[in-house]
Each structure stands twice: as C-alpha cells, then as structure tokens.
Chain A
Amino acid sequence: MTYQPDRSQYPNKKADGSLDIDLKSGKFLKLWQGPQHPGITGNMSVELTVCGDEVVEGITHVGYLHRGFEKLMERRTFIQCFPIVCRICVPEPDFNEYCYAAAVEELAGIEAPEYANWIRTLILEMGRINSYLMYCGGQAGSFGMGVISQWTTYVRDLMLDRFEELTGARIYHMFILPGGVRDRLPEGFAQRMEETLCEIESTMSDVYNTMYCNAVFKKRSVGVGVIDIDLMDAYGVTGPNARAGGVAKDVRKDQPYLVYPELDFEPILGQDSDIYTRADIRRQDLLQSVDLVRQILAKMPEDGSLMAKIPSVMHWKIPRGETYIRGECSRGEYGYYLVTDGSGYPRRVNVRGPSYTHAMALLERMIVNLNIADVAGLMVSLHTYPPEIER
C-alpha cells in the first residue's frame, strides 16, 4: 500500500473526545451510504463524514427493519413463537429456530431425539452454505464484479430447492421446533443433495478463479480493513471475522452442540485479518460445510424419532429459569437468551446476532481513515445482516 493520506486537514479532537467537525468550513462532507446500497445485505445506512475521499467518521444507523420480535414473543405461547423466530435473519433463518428450540428444551427439561439432532445439524450446515453463497455474491458486487452474485444466486437457489423438499418452504423453513423436527428426509434426498453439492463446488471453483485469483480483487482487499488482534475481545468479534485474524474460535468445536462431536472438521484459520483473508476463510468454510453435509448424510441413522414428547402446547408452561444457547452461524456466534417465569409465555427473549457488534461498534471503529470506495467492501467483509441488529 503506497497511498498515504494527507492528515493535515483532519479534524482535531475536542476536549470531550469527540471530533471537531465544522461542516461550514467546507473541508468536510456528509455522505449517506444506504439504507439501499449494493454493499449492504439488508437495510442499514452509514452516515459518513468525509474529508476529500477519506472517511473521518462513520456512524451506523439502523431502524429500517425493526419489528419488535423480542417483544412480540412475550405475548405468544412457546409454540407460537416458533414460526416467528426465523424471520429475524432472512438469509440464514435456521439458527433462530435451533437456538430458540434448544433454549426452550433446556428450560423445559426436554431432550430432542438423536435423529432429529442429525436433521437439525444438516439444516444448519445447509443454511451456512447458503449464507456464504450470498456473501460471495455481495463481496464481489461491492468491488464491481456483478457476475459472481449471479452464479452464487443460482446455486443458492438449488440449495433452496433442497430446503423446500426437506422442510416444505424455501426461505422460512419453520422446521426445527421445540422437541425435534417436523419430518424426516424425503425419499432420494441424499442423491439430489449430492448433485447440488457438486454444482456448488463447481461454481465455487469458478468463483475462486474469477474472484479470489483476480488481481483487481486482491489489489482492493489485501491489507484493507484489518481487524487488529486486540480489537477481537474489545468488540466481541466472532466467527470468520475472528478466525481470519488467527483467533481459533468456533462454537461447533468449543461448545459442541447437536451432533458436531461426531463430525470430522477443524476450524479454518487465517492470519492477516484483512478483507481478502476474511473472504477466503468464508470460501473455505463454505467448502467445509459442503463436506460436513456429506458427512452428515453418510453418518446419520436411517430413521429414528422426530419429536420428543412435549407438553400439550396449548397450555405449555415452563418453570422460572434462564439460559443462553449459542451456535456457530456463518457470521459468528448466534445466540438466544431466554428467560422464563413459570407462565405460558417467555418472560424475555434476547437474540444475540453477531452483526450487533460487527456492524455497529466494530464498523464505526474500522471505517475511519478508509477510502470512500472501500467502505462497501469493508462492510460486506464483516458479513453483517441488519435484521439481527434490530430484531
């Protein structure tokens, strides 16, 4: 990186630590990026203050997707909450279903059957694949490579077909519910899944050639948007964002859930912690998930029980308690904090999406000193989904 910005015009800090930005001085410009912008998955805007083509301050604004799910759930019975949790994250809804179901099961003292846990794991890995495919398209798009998203959208669509035949729906699967899962694998599912996985691998090989081995992409992503290792804890960084900096953390390994102990995989690590490394970690993660889906289909039992015996749902009460359930989604740690009070309704549900820290505090910290043109690339490289910030 040879570019050295001229810092002479940068705002000074005031006594209270805030920046001394006088827009009337003509040195600064306010620029709104979003809420609709190709660099953002979902609706979110960043209020940029730029000096020349450099960002001196970026403030994240959310609120375009708030539906108050956490509050809505407080007046729904435990079973009635199940269909709405998936809406909290559109591209990867299944972690909501799993975390919610597991939290309810833990507080209600229910153990989901093993066969159901295999199917749950399968669905979560399928969801991770789809989320990464969406990311690849977005990351490429943020650097002007529109075709990549067309390819990944196609193979993602094939995976949606698999979701549809397994769960009965393409986007909001509503398949993992407290107690187990709704149904077993359809006839011939493994075969069709294998065809889809091959198609994904082939597409990812094309993506590798055109995006990852692309001088333009490398030029713009290598060494840009580096998350210093000491920010990892301060900002609660998790998932590929942390692993790209060498932090070997993966919930699937650290606090193994479902059937992950029976699957063979190692967390994928990087070192440079820049946009390129994060993109590459995700590509490898995707391929790892492809492998995990194959492992699951090979190792899972032929048949088994779908549902544990659950209380009659119309009057299901759960004793007072609280718990936190997490899973490793494509963006990092996804978790549900559930508090029950002995009634038939949750006392409090708090959804902890990784984007909450990645897109707010972390982004605002990292955006400073960035070139305007790289802002979109940085935002996508943090892989954030605004709905999980606002819920």
Chain B
Amino acid sequence: MSIRDLLSPFSAWKNILRDPVTIPDPLNDRPGSDRYRGFHQNDNEKCIGCGTCEAICQNGAIDMLPVDSVATKEGDSGLRPRIDYGRCCWCALCVDVCMTGSLTMSNEYKWVESDPDAFRFTPGVDKKFWDNSELGYKRPEEHRLVSPERIEMREMNVESRIDSFAEIVHGYSIEEAQLEADRCVACGLCIATCPTHMSIPDYINAVREGDYEQGLRLLYETNPFSNVCGRVCTRKCESACASRHEGEPIAIRWLKRHIIDQIPHEKYREIIGDPEPSTGKKVAIIGAGPAGLTAAFDLVRKGHEVIVYEAKAAAGGMTRYGIPEYRLPYDALDRDIETIVSMGVQIVYNTRIGADIPMQQLTQDFDAVLLAIGLQEGRQTRIPNSDHEKVYRAVDLLDKITAGEEFHLPHCAVIIGGGNVAMDIARSIARLQKQQYGQVDVVLTAMEEQQHFMADPDEIKEALEEGIIIQDQCGPQGCEIDQSGKLIGLKTWKVLSIFDSEKRFAPVYDNGDETIHACDTVIEAIGQFSDISLLGDELTEKLEWNRGRIQIDSDGRTSESWLWSAGDCVNGPDVVHAVADGHRVAASIHCYITAD
C-alpha cells in the first residue's frame, strides 16, 4: 500500500469546479443526427402502395390501407403504409427495400402525445411537423436489397440472326430464371394491368420454387396462349411493375416463357385436366386467332361443342400470319393450338364464312356465334401513285412469307410506318435480302420521332442492329415513278409536329424539307382494318355500330342476342387483349346458352 494510493483518489475533487455536461434543454437543443432513423416520411406522389415495406417489416408494424387522397389506378394500388410505432423498431428495412424510394425517415425522435393511438399513423397522409425534414435516414444509392437490374436474356447475335428466321431469344436457364424471379417482390400490382389478369406473382413464385407444373396450371387458368404470350406479349404488366421505378421491371414475359419451356408438351393436357361433361350446346366461332381460340378453349372446358371456322389453312390468326418466325416460331404457336384442339375444339380450315358457308346457316345450326375475325386487311396511304404495283401492304407480304408464297423480293425497300408491323416487315425483308442478295437495303420511314414510335423499343434496337435504316419524322407525300412507269422512290416531307395540344392527330410539315427515298418497292404498314363483308348486308344493317366497329356491351355481345364479337376487330391489335376478350365472351356465351 503506497502513500500514492491514499492520496490519488482525492484528485476527484478537481471536478468541483467543472461545469455540468448535461444538455439543459434536450427537447430543443438535441436534434437527431443527420442520418438518424426517426419518424417516417412518405412521398405519396412517388409511393405506389406495393406493400413491400409491409412484407419486409419483421415487427408486423406496417399495414397497407386505402387513403382518401389517392385513387387506385394502374401501377398504384391506392394503398399507403400506416405504421404502428408501438411495434416499429426503427430498423429502416422498409426504407431500404422501398421500391420507389418514397419512404424515408426524418431525424425527428422527440414527439410527445398523450394518446397512444396517435402513434399509429400514415406518413405523408397524416400531416406531421417533420414531413418536410431534409435530414434523417435516406437509403444510400448503392445500398440495394433488391437487385435493380434484370437478368440479361441471351440472344442470337446480329451476325448469326440476320440471314435466318430462327428464334432470336434463347430463353432463360433455370438458374437465370430463378434469379430473375427472386427480384419480384410479389406485390401483385401487375395483375390489374394485365388484360387477362394473369396471376403473375404466383407463377413467378412457381419459377422460384421450381414447381413448373403448378406454373403451367396457373398460366392456363387465364391464358391458353402462353407459348405466344411468353414470346410476343405486349407485356403491359411490366409497365406496372414495382421494380421499374428504381430499376428495370421484372422480365415477366420471359419468366412466363420459361415455365412453358420447362414442361414437355405432351404433359400439358394432363396438367390442365379434362373438360366438364358435355352440355349438348353448340357454339360457332369465326376466326381461329387468339380471341376465338381462347373463347373456344374456355367453352369446351365447360362441356360445350365448339366449331371454329378459319378462312386460312392454319390457325393462329395474326400470331401466325403477322408475327415473323424469328419472334414467334411456328412450333411454339402450334403447341398452344394443339393443346386447345386436344381439349376438343374443332377447327374447320380453309372455310370462309360468307363465301363458303353463309352466316345464316351458323345462326341456325348453333346456339351462339362469336365473331373474332381480327384485323386482316392493311390500310393504304392512298398518296399519289400509291396504287403502283410495287406498293404493298405489310400484312399482305407477311402473310405471303408465312404461307411460303412467292413474291418479288425488293432489292431496296422503303417501309411506311413506325409500329411493330413495320418492324416485322422491315426485319423480315432484311433477312430475305441477306439470304438472297447478300445485303440488307431497307429504309423505314415514319412520321413520329424515333423515341415515340409505337413499336417496342427492343424491336427498334434490333432492327437498327440488323442494318435497317430508320428515317423518322418523314411524312409520305407520294410515290415517285419514272417515265417508264417504274417505281423509283418515296417522297416525304419533314414532319415538324404530329399531335395537337389535345394529343389528336394534326401533323405540321416543312414542305421545303423534302426527301426522295430511292427504292424499288414501297411497303405500307400504317394500320389495319377488318373485312366485315361476311356479315352480309342484312345483318350489317341489323347490327348496331359504333364508329366503324360493331357495337358491343361490356361482355362483348352485339345488339343481336346470339352474336358476340371479340379480339382485334373490337379492340385493335394486341394478343393478350384478345385472349382477355376471349375469356370475357366465353363467360358471357356460357351464361347465355346455359340460362334455360
């Protein structure tokens, strides 16, 4: 024991002169740090109500509830997170996972209230004094709990695909598909946007679990054209995907295709199950496209006898005669059709109603008739000299290519149009040119600016890769013909603007900015219409019409009680819309014919 040990402790006395270190007014003098995890903030303009915050909250502190100020619309559930601070542990996983970045935290932690229920509120909706606080925890940019990038789809490269009609997209491997499926937060926002309301999160879950039979079963509940839609769907669902806000949307279309690819076709029938017993009712369907065959599929499953009349030699409608093979191989389409036929649907080919069988006969022989004739005829520009024999309609040429019919392959083609059909014909011609002439010479002109083309951005990108020249903002003015009557080019004027303030068509040209696109062939791909001559004058007169289309009710039924209409001829071109339509009319027809 040293003397130091006795004296040293007295050094504590020096503190007698020290100022207190406590904060005198902590409620005001002690804000949370810059990245403090305090009460939540939610930007309701950005929030889409996907509920991922609720899903990740391990305390069960978050409820998703409708709020008055937000309407439910495509891509926004209209729900907003309400937080129970009796359970919240301030871990901020909800902020980290938030798909839009709308949910953040303020640095506010000093809030006193005598009513405990006040600590259960909806940030951003129930106004709080920290709502506009700049400080507090915001997710750092690179801190991502859900991968923002989609798994890249392997495709044929340009060199190997340009002279071939082989399918470009390879499809995901099981590992790739599961990684992509893992990115899905299963919020289900996409379901409302899908015209046929496919149970997307469920079938993506089936991919994740590797339960492909369940996946196929789910697909067939809402879509008997999954081979087709897994390849060429317009995938509106992806535009409603929660992942698109801070990254790329889930590759929903490719995941659908992946399920299809995993199941051997001979097992489809067994997985889907048998139709119900026969009802003795008969339905005639005109047109074996997606709408007609979807309706047929639904109706035979209900036990009705269905006969589909198809004017062409094969079924599929535009999916066969419009969409090129490199996007949708015929065998994939055939698998969908075979499955439908295997359920008992009868298809009568090469039979045109109105010409081969009169419409009246159908009304006599069947309990109901569905008109699903699509949009088979190409619109013409009717610009000067467009009646020249080397001016074609894109749909006619695509039809010839599918049917294997001979036609004069242009050495140099100019396409008019900026939609998917224009891309289809441009890329098909390019392939044939490469095969036969060794080089591609296709110019695509359209009135819109390239970023506003109706065509899928992937199509534009791939078309450019394949050597197709795109001349946007070109309004066609006439076809140029030399003295010998030979087509030598297309004259266009520069388009200054296309739409007026109401988004209606009102093109403005600069007629001083004229271009002659030299070519030996012009192909028009501006629009389509349906040939309704099969109805006959009497029925045409009897039916109610609405601006050039047969008037139908919300079930697709026309003003004649026995006649329904569905698909592109009603909605305009879109495969998955046609499928949705097929279901809708099938349900309505089923109700009608089983009513008594």
Residue numbers of A with Cβ under 8 A of B are 76-77, 79-84, 147, 154, 161, 164-165, 167-169, 172, 174, 182-184, 186, 206, 209-211, 213-216, 218-219, 305-307, 309-316
Contact = CB atoms under 8 A, between A and B. Distances in A.
A69 B208 CA distance: 28
B5 A214 contact: yes
Contact of B55 (A209, A309, A314): A314
Contact of B142 (A82, A206, A307, A316): A307
Interface stretch (B144-152, B439-447, B457-465, B580-588): B144-152
B232 interface: no
A80 B56 contact: yes
13 contacts: A84-B58, A147-B12, A168-B35, A168-B92, A169-B90, A172-B91, A174-B92, A182-B143, A210-B11, A213-B9, A214-B8, A309-B147, A313-B56
Interface in B518-536: none
A310 B91 CA distance: 19
Interface string B54-70: 01101000000000000
Given A213-B4, A313-B146, A174 B182 contact: no
Contacts of B146: 312-314
Interface in B15-73: 15, 21, 32-37, 52, 55-56, 58
B125 interface: no
If over half of B's interface residues share one DSSP class (helix, strand or loop), that class is named, otherwise mixed; here it is: loop
B140 A182 contact: yes
A79 B36 contact: no
B186 interface: yes
Contacts of A164: 32-33, 36
A81 B12 CA distance: 45
B183 interface: yes
Contacts of B15: 206
A173 to B, nearest CB: 10
A269 to B, nearest CB: 23
A49 to B, nearest CB: 33
Nearest to B144: A307
Contacts of A206: 11-12, 15
Nearest to B145: A313
Nearest to B36: A168
Nearest to B180: A312
Contacts of A305: 142
Interface residues of B, number: 43
A315 B182 contact: yes
B142 A83 contact: no
Interface in B146-205: 146-147, 179, 181-186
Interface of B: 1, 4-6, 8-9, 11-12, 15, 21, 32-37, 52, 55-56, 58, 89-93, 96-97, 137, 140, 142-147, 179, 181-186, 208
A223 to B, nearest CB: 13
A310 B145 contact: yes
Contacts of A216: 9
A275 to B, nearest CB: 16
Given A172-B91, A312-B147, A312-B182, 9 more contacts: A164-B36, A165-B33, A168-B36, A174-B90, A182-B143, A186-B35, A209-B11, A213-B8, A215-B9
Contact of B1 (A169, A172, A215): A215
Contacts of A183: 35, 140, 143
A209 B8 contact: yes
B140 A306 contact: yes
B309 to A, nearest CB: 47
A314 B185 contact: yes
B143 A307 contact: yes
A180 to B, nearest CB: 8
A154 B23 CA distance: 11
Nearest to B185: A314
Given A210-B8, A314-B186, A218 B145 contact: no
Given A79-B145, A80-B56, A307-B143, A215 B6 contact: yes
Contacts of B1: 215, 218-219
Contacts of A309: 147
A323 B160 CA distance: 48
A306 B92 contact: no
Q: Which residue, of A165, A169, A174, has the highest number of chain B Cβ atoms within 10 A?
A: A169
Contacts of A80: 56, 58, 93
A214 to B, nearest CB: 5
Nearest to B187: A314
B180 to A, nearest CB: 9
A210 B55 CA distance: 53
B143 A306 contact: yes
Contacts of A211: 9
Contacts of A174: 37, 90-92
Nearest to B148: A312
A207 to B, nearest CB: 10
Nearest to B37: A168
Contact of B34 (A172, A186, A307): A186
B36 A83 contact: no
Nearest to A205: B11
Given A214-B5, A307-B143, A313-B97, A172 B89 contact: yes
A213 B2 CA distance: 9
A161 B90 CA distance: 17
A306 B142 contact: yes
Contacts of B97: 313-314
Contacts of B33: 161, 164-165, 168, 186
The 3 A-B residue pairs with the shortest CB-CB distance, nearest first, are A83-B91, A80-B58, A213-B8
A209 B52 contact: no
A315 B56 CA distance: 11
A302 B585 CA distance: 65
Contacts of A147: 12
- Select the residue from B93, B145, B185 with max chain A CB neighbours within 10 A: B145
Contacts of A82: 91, 93
A305 B36 CA distance: 21
Nearest to B105: A168
A314 B93 contact: no
Chain A CB within 10 Å, residue with most, of B52, B58, B182:
B58
B52 A314 contact: yes
Contacts of B208: 315
Contact of B56 (A167, A306, A314): A314
A210 B89 contact: no
A310 to B, nearest CB: 7
Contact of A311 (B4, B36, B140, B182): B182
A209 B144 contact: no
A10 to B, nearest CB: 31
Contacts of A84: 58, 89
A169 B36 contact: yes
A219 B1 CA distance: 8
B4 to A, nearest CB: 6
B21 A312 contact: no
A183 B5 CA distance: 47
Contacts of A161: 33
B223 to A, nearest CB: 24
